[in-house]
Amino acid sequence: MYNEKVMEHFMNPHNAGEMENPDAVGNYGSPVCGDMMEISLKIENNVIVDAKFKTFGCGSAIASSSVATDMIMGKTLEEALELTNKNFIDELGGLPGPKIHCSVLAEQAVRHAIYDYAQKHGLELEGLKDFD
Ligand code: FES
Ligand code: FES
Protein backbone atom coordinates (compact mmCIF):
# COMPACT_ATOMS: atom_id res chain seq x y z
CA MET A 1 0.00 0.00 0.00
CA TYR A 2 2.81 2.44 0.87
CA ASN A 3 5.86 3.09 -1.29
CA GLU A 4 9.38 2.75 0.07
CA LYS A 5 9.94 6.44 0.64
CA VAL A 6 6.75 6.76 2.70
CA MET A 7 7.80 3.72 4.74
CA GLU A 8 11.25 5.19 5.29
CA HIS A 9 9.82 8.49 6.58
CA PHE A 10 7.34 6.58 8.72
CA MET A 11 9.96 4.30 10.28
CA ASN A 12 12.62 7.02 10.66
CA PRO A 13 10.78 10.32 10.72
CA HIS A 14 12.86 13.48 10.50
CA ASN A 15 12.40 16.29 13.03
CA ALA A 16 10.06 14.44 15.39
CA GLY A 17 9.81 15.63 18.96
CA GLU A 18 9.74 18.54 21.32
CA MET A 19 11.35 21.97 20.76
CA GLU A 20 12.55 24.21 23.56
CA ASN A 21 11.31 27.78 23.41
CA PRO A 22 9.74 27.69 19.95
CA ASP A 23 8.98 31.02 18.30
CA ALA A 24 5.71 29.65 16.98
CA VAL A 25 3.47 26.63 17.46
CA GLY A 26 0.63 25.41 15.29
CA ASN A 27 -1.91 22.70 16.01
CA TYR A 28 -4.36 21.17 13.67
CA GLY A 29 -6.89 18.41 14.17
CA SER A 30 -8.39 16.58 11.22
CA PRO A 31 -12.13 16.95 10.86
CA VAL A 32 -12.09 13.54 9.14
CA CYS A 33 -10.50 11.28 11.77
CA GLY A 34 -9.84 13.53 14.77
CA ASP A 35 -6.09 12.93 14.54
CA MET A 36 -3.79 15.81 15.51
CA MET A 37 -0.52 17.39 14.55
CA GLU A 38 1.59 20.03 16.25
CA ILE A 39 4.41 21.88 14.51
CA SER A 40 6.91 24.10 16.36
CA LEU A 41 9.16 26.57 14.61
CA LYS A 42 12.24 28.64 15.23
CA ILE A 43 12.28 31.71 13.03
CA GLU A 44 15.13 34.13 12.43
CA ASN A 45 14.92 37.11 10.08
CA ASN A 46 11.73 35.78 8.52
CA VAL A 47 13.35 32.41 7.77
CA ILE A 48 12.38 29.07 9.34
CA VAL A 49 15.63 27.82 10.85
CA ASP A 50 14.23 24.83 12.75
CA ALA A 51 11.04 22.79 12.75
CA LYS A 52 9.78 19.92 14.88
CA PHE A 53 6.56 17.96 14.88
CA LYS A 54 4.42 15.78 17.08
CA THR A 55 1.78 13.76 15.33
CA PHE A 56 -1.00 11.69 16.80
CA GLY A 57 -2.04 10.06 13.59
CA CYS A 58 -1.44 7.35 11.07
CA GLY A 59 1.70 6.51 9.09
CA SER A 60 0.73 8.85 6.25
CA ALA A 61 0.38 11.73 8.65
CA ILE A 62 3.76 10.96 10.23
CA ALA A 63 5.50 10.65 6.85
CA SER A 64 3.85 13.90 5.73
CA SER A 65 5.05 15.70 8.89
CA SER A 66 8.54 14.39 8.29
CA VAL A 67 8.82 15.75 4.73
CA ALA A 68 6.90 18.93 5.58
CA THR A 69 9.32 19.88 8.37
CA ASP A 70 12.28 19.04 6.08
CA MET A 71 10.87 21.16 3.27
CA ILE A 72 10.00 24.29 5.28
CA MET A 73 13.41 24.58 6.89
CA GLY A 74 15.49 27.28 5.24
CA LYS A 75 12.41 28.81 3.64
CA THR A 76 11.01 32.27 4.29
CA LEU A 77 7.57 32.42 5.87
CA GLU A 78 6.10 33.43 2.51
CA GLU A 79 7.76 30.49 0.73
CA ALA A 80 6.61 28.05 3.41
CA LEU A 81 3.04 29.30 3.05
CA GLU A 82 3.13 28.45 -0.64
CA LEU A 83 3.70 24.77 0.10
CA THR A 84 0.60 22.62 0.06
CA ASN A 85 -0.11 19.01 0.93
CA LYS A 86 0.34 18.27 -2.78
CA ASN A 87 4.02 19.25 -2.50
CA PHE A 88 4.44 16.93 0.48
CA ILE A 89 2.76 14.06 -1.36
CA ASP A 90 4.99 14.65 -4.41
CA GLU A 91 8.05 14.61 -2.18
CA LEU A 92 6.87 11.28 -0.75
CA GLY A 93 6.37 9.88 -4.23
CA GLY A 94 2.64 9.53 -3.68
CA LEU A 95 0.18 8.44 -0.99
CA PRO A 96 -2.67 5.96 -1.37
CA GLY A 97 -5.93 7.77 -2.29
CA PRO A 98 -7.78 7.28 1.00
CA LYS A 99 -4.74 8.64 2.83
CA ILE A 100 -4.32 11.88 0.92
CA HIS A 101 -6.25 13.94 3.44
CA CYS A 102 -3.78 12.90 6.18
CA SER A 103 -1.17 15.09 4.46
CA VAL A 104 -3.52 18.06 4.90
CA LEU A 105 -2.73 17.85 8.61
CA ALA A 106 0.86 18.82 7.81
CA GLU A 107 -0.15 21.66 5.50
CA GLN A 108 -2.56 23.08 8.04
CA ALA A 109 -0.29 22.65 11.06
CA VAL A 110 2.44 24.60 9.21
CA ARG A 111 -0.05 27.34 8.35
CA HIS A 112 -1.29 27.54 11.93
CA ALA A 113 2.28 27.84 13.23
CA ILE A 114 3.08 30.66 10.81
CA TYR A 115 -0.22 32.31 11.70
CA ASP A 116 0.75 32.10 15.38
CA TYR A 117 4.02 33.87 14.58
CA ALA A 118 2.32 36.51 12.44
CA GLN A 119 -0.17 37.23 15.24
CA LYS A 120 2.55 37.62 17.84
CA HIS A 121 4.58 39.95 15.65
CA GLY A 122 1.83 41.89 13.92
CA LEU A 123 2.88 40.62 10.48
CA GLU A 124 0.56 40.73 7.52
CA LEU A 125 1.45 37.88 5.20
CA GLU A 126 -0.10 37.58 1.79
CA GLY A 127 -0.36 33.79 2.10
CA LEU A 128 -2.46 34.13 5.27
CA LYS A 129 -5.06 36.44 3.75
CA ASP A 130 -7.80 33.82 3.65
CA PHE A 131 -6.78 32.17 6.89
CA ASP A 132 -9.40 31.97 9.63
FE1 FES B 1 -5.76 10.07 10.78
FE2 FES B 1 -4.23 9.55 8.76
S3 FES B 1 -4.02 11.12 10.18
S4 FES B 1 -5.90 8.40 9.44
FE1 FES C 1 -7.60 11.61 9.50
FE2 FES C 1 -6.42 10.92 7.55
S3 FES C 1 -8.08 9.91 8.39
S4 FES C 1 -6.28 12.79 8.50
- Interval 78-87 mean pLDDT: 97
pLDDT value at residue 32: 83
Q: Which residues contact 129 (CB under 8 A, 6 or more apart)?
A: none
- Which protein residue has the closest C-alpha to ligand 1 atom 4? 58
Level-2 CATH architecture, domain 4-122? Alpha-Beta Complex (3.90)
33 is catalytic: yes
pTM confidence score: 0.95
CA angle in degrees (0–180, nearest 5) for 21-46-38: 45
- For residue 31, pLDDT over 90 is answered with no
- Interval 54-65 mean pLDDT: 96
> Which is catalytic among the residues 33, 49, 82, 123?
33
Query: What are the sequence ranges of the domains in the chain?
Result: 4-122
- ipTM computed for the complex: 0.82
Across all residues in the chain, what is the average pLDDT? 96
